[in-house]
């Protein structure tokens, strides 16, 4: 795939015509006198974004808002066949080779276009996911050679290794295995929301112990239900017998009172009069010295009166006792009658239970059976998932061994050597290389892939790391038919002029020879600062590679020809 032309349906747009091979340079100039403008915001990075826009990237919100009806067009070739994609800034118009096409269909066409050989067995490979490495459009794309923006570490590793021509199936398998293990754990965890298991775990019970107990308890409940005899009037009989029991308790209280009273009478009858005849006579004899004789002359009358009192008291007590005995016999008879009636009612309930008790027992059995079924499903799932987890871990261990063996063969040795040669031209006598090591950690990454230039903590050297790696993919990569590489000015902004000049000298010497396109954007300062580090022929070649110069002095000299943004 090679770029031919980037244009728009507005005359103010600065059309960019790409050189068929070799270097195409986009220069952002502040102004002729360097006082009236800036090279920032003139459209250097925007040009790359517009290429991605035409190649099916997500719509740019700023473009969509500011110039929705502008239509941008990208002419390019794939295997010698020219194609044209036209797309409006708001995405409402999209055409491939002058035929309207839906965005999804365009992406499908690009995937099948042959620019990349997409292995359907590997996840996450598409035209859009791979083309970013041949045109890093955002700042975050330019930080790490392996992982671009919006990529996971796994995606960056897989796509980079794929374009390097390294083994990738083990890479995909490890993620698949790790995801499957995580899914198994999530499946087990999701059971914690089940109310049966949640209550059980909250109570500190173990599923297996609980299941074993239920295996014993459920048969016992079934046996109890089988022996259950239901009396449908159980509650009515139980209520009536309760009333009779209350009546018996009341009779027993009355009997106790009567018995107490009769016992009192018996004790009273057993007692002798307080003063007998002899004692009374002695008393009178003693009083003769105090009272007149005529006052004591009636002793016999007093004695007679005393006898009459004692006799009357005894008769009254005997009468009371007879009356109490009669009432007591009546109560005893009533007690016997009520007791017999109650016993007869209770006898009808012998060995029987109430219907609601039966229902409660049946409901308990249903609950236990439901709980046992749930526990059975959970325990079966645990066993199955644990078995699957063991199998997957065994495969992962085997894959760890294969990955270690593969890494030991140094499959990226050639790529590392070429990368080191490139870095050597920019930073002589500086160690550099590409290293692949097996990763057997509990993660999704099968390998640790590192692209190194000693001192890459420096922004300039780090940018060189990205630039050299991309060039490696363009010239010596695999699984692609991409014939262009685009580097934005942000990758050169922190490079010193000397390594930057060395880089462009190398590109101009090799790109055309390999029939590749190299598109770069530079501001004037970075462009002109290289002059003293290039021979005259190289400088002339660099100048002749300039396709368009964008200036910030006036809106009409910018890429769009109008003021864009703030």
Distances (CA, A) of 372 to 190, 212, 361, 369, 376: 18, 9, 16, 5, 6
What is the spatial distance between Cα 412 and Cα 401, in angstroms, rounded to a whole number?
18
Identify how many contiguous H helices and E strands the chain contains and give both numbers. Answer: 17, 14
Sequence-separated contacts (24+) of 448-456 with Cβ below 8 Å = 449/146, 449/157, 449/160, 449/161, 450/146, 451/145, 451/146, 451/419, 453/423, 453/427, 454/430, 455/427, 455/430
Contact (CB, 8 A) for 27 and 522? yes
- The whole-number pLDDT of residue 275 equals 56
Residues 6+ apart with CB under 8 A from 294: none
Asked whether the predicted pLDDT for residue 212 surpasses 60, the reply is yes
Q: What is the pTM of this model?
A: 0.71
What is the spatial distance between Cα 167 and Cα 158, in angstroms, rounded to a whole number?
9
Sign of CA dihedral 83, 477, 144, 533: negative
What is the spatial distance between Cα 6 and Cα 17, in angstroms, rounded to a whole number?
7
- The whole-number pLDDT of residue 73 equals 98
What is the spatial distance between Cα 172 and Cα 250, in angstroms, rounded to a whole number?
89
What is the spatial distance between Cα 138 and Cα 103, in angstroms, rounded to a whole number?
22
pLDDT cut 70: percent of the chain above it: 82
Sign of CA dihedral 110, 114, 119, 120: positive
CB atoms inside a 10 Å sphere around CB 5: 14
- The whole-number pLDDT of residue 229 equals 57
Sign of CA dihedral 528, 529, 530, 535: positive
- Mean pLDDT on 551-561: 93
Identify which has the larger pLDDT, 377 or 393: 393
- Is residue 113 packed enough to be buried (19+ CB in 10 Å), middle (13-18) or exposed (0-12)? middle
Q: Write out the two tokens for 200.
A: 């059980």
Query: What is the DSSP track for 186-237?
Result: HHHHHGGGSHHHHHHHHTT--HHHHHHHHHHHHHHHHHHHHH--EETTHHHH
What is the spatial distance between Cα 85 and Cα 6, in angstroms, rounded to a whole number?
10
pLDDT cut 90: percent of the chain above it: 58
- The whole-number pLDDT of residue 37 equals 43
Residues 157-177 have pLDDT tens digits of 999 999 999 999 999 999 999
Confidence of residue 7 (pLDDT cuts 50, 70, 90): very high
Identify which has the larger pLDDT, 260 or 226: 260
- The whole-number pLDDT of residue 197 equals 59
Residues 6+ apart with CB under 8 A from 135: 48, 51, 52, 484, 485, 486
Q: How far apart are the first and last CA of the chain?
A: 35
Residues 189-199 have pLDDT tens digits of 766 566 655 56
- Mean pLDDT on 452-475: 96
Residues 29-67 have pLDDT tens digits of 865 444 444 456 799 999 999 999 999 999 999 999 999
Identify which has the larger pLDDT, 327 or 237: 327
Sign of CA dihedral 349, 354, 355, 360: negative
Asked whether the predicted pLDDT for residue 125 surpasses 60, the reply is yes
Nearest-Å Rg of the Cα atoms of the chain is 54
What is the spatial distance between Cα 18 and Cα 4, in angstroms, rounded to a whole number?
5
- The whole-number pLDDT of residue 370 equals 80
Contact (CB, 8 A) for 423 and 461? no
Asked whether the predicted pLDDT for residue 75 surpasses 50, the reply is yes
CB atoms inside a 10 Å sphere around CB 448: 14
- 3-state SS, 294-339, equals HHHCCHHHHHHHHHHHHHHHHHHHHHHHHHHHHHHHHHHHHHHHHH
What is the spatial distance between Cα 508 and Cα 506, in angstroms, rounded to a whole number?
6
**What is the rounded average pLDDT for all residues in the chain?**
86
- Count Cα atoms within 13 angstroms, Cβ side, for 334: 17
- The whole-number pLDDT of residue 146 equals 97
- The whole-number pLDDT of residue 492 equals 96
- Mean pLDDT on 547-562: 93
Residues 80-108 have pLDDT tens digits of 999 999 999 999 999 999 999 999 999 99
- Count Cα atoms within 13 angstroms, Cβ side, for 562: 11
Contact (CB, 8 A) for 277 and 303? yes
Distances (CA, A) of 116 to 56, 154, 339, 481: 15, 19, 101, 6
Q: Give start and end residues of each alpha helix (H) in 228-291.
A: 234-270, 277-287
């Amino acid at each position: 795939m090679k770029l031919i032309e980037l244009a728009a349906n507005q005359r103010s747009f600065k059309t960019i015509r790409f050189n068929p091979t070799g270097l195409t340079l986009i220069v952002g100039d502040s102004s002729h006198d360097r006082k009236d403008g800036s090279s920032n915001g003139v459209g250097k990075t925007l040009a790359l974004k517009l290429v991605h826009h035409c190649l099916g990237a997500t719509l740019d919100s700023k473009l969509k808002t500011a110039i929705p009806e502008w239509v941008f067009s990208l002419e390019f070739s794939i295997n010698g066949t020219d194609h044209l994609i036209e797309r409006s800034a708001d995405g409402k118009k999209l055409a491939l080779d002058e035929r309207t096409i839906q965005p999804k269909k365009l992406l499908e066409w690009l995937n099948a276009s042959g620019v990349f050989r997409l292995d359907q067995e590997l996840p996450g490979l598409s035209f859009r996911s791979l083309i970013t490495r041949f045109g890093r459009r955002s700042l975050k794309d330019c930080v790490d050679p392996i992982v671009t923006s919006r990529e996971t570490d796994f995606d960056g590793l897989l796509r980079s290794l794929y374009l390097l021509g390294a083994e990738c199936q083990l890479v995909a398998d490890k993620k698949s295995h790790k995801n499957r293990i995580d899914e198994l754990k999530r499946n087990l965890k999701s059971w914690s929301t089940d109310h049966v298991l949640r209550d059980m775990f909250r109570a500190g019970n173990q599923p297996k112990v609980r299941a074993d107990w239920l295996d014993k308890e459920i048969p016992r409940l079934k046996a109890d239900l089988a022996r259950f005899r239901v009396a449908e009037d159980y509650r009515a009989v139980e209520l009536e017998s309760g009333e009779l029991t209350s009546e018996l308790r009341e009779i027993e209280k009355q009997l106790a009172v009567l018995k107490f009273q009769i016992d009192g009478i018996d004790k009273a009858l057993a007692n002798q009069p307080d003063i007998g005849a002899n004692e009374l006579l002695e008393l009178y004899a003693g009083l003769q010295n105090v009272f007149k004789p005529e006052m004591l002359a009636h002793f016999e009358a007093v004695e007679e009166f005393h006898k009459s009192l004692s006799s009357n008291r005894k008769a009254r007590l005997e009468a009371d006792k007879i009356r109490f005995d009669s009432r007591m016999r009546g109560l005893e008879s009533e007690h016997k009658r009520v007791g017999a009636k109650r016993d007869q009612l209770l006898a009808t309930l012998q060995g029987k239970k109430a219907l609601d008790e039966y229902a409660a027992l049946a409901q308990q059995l249903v609950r236990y059976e439901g709980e046992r079924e749930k526990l059975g499903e959970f325990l079966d799932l645990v066993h199955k998932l644990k078995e699957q987890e063991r199998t997957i871990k065994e495969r992962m261990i085997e894959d760890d061994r294969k990955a270690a063996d593969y890494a030991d063969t140094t499959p990226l040795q050639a790529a590392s050597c070429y990368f080191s040669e490139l870095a050597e031209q920019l930073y002589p006598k500086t160690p550099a290389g590409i290293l692949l090591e097996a990763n057997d950690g509990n993660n999704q990454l099968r390998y640790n892939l590192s692209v190194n230039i000693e001192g890459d903590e420096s922004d300039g050297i780090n940018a060189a790391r990205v630039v050299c790696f991309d060039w490696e993919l363009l010239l010596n990569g695999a699984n692609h038919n991409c014939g262009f590489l685009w580097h934005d000015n942000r990758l050169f902004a922190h490079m010193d002029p000397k390594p930057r000049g060395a880089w462009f000298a190398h590109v101009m010497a090799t790109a055309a020879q390999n029939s590749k396109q190299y598109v770069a954007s530079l501001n004037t300062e970075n462009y002109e600062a290289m002059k003293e580090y290039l021979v005259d022929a190289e400088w002339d070649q660099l100048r002749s590679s300039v396709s368009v110069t964008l200036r910030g002095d006036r809106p009409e000299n910018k890429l769009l020809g109008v003021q864009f943004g703030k």
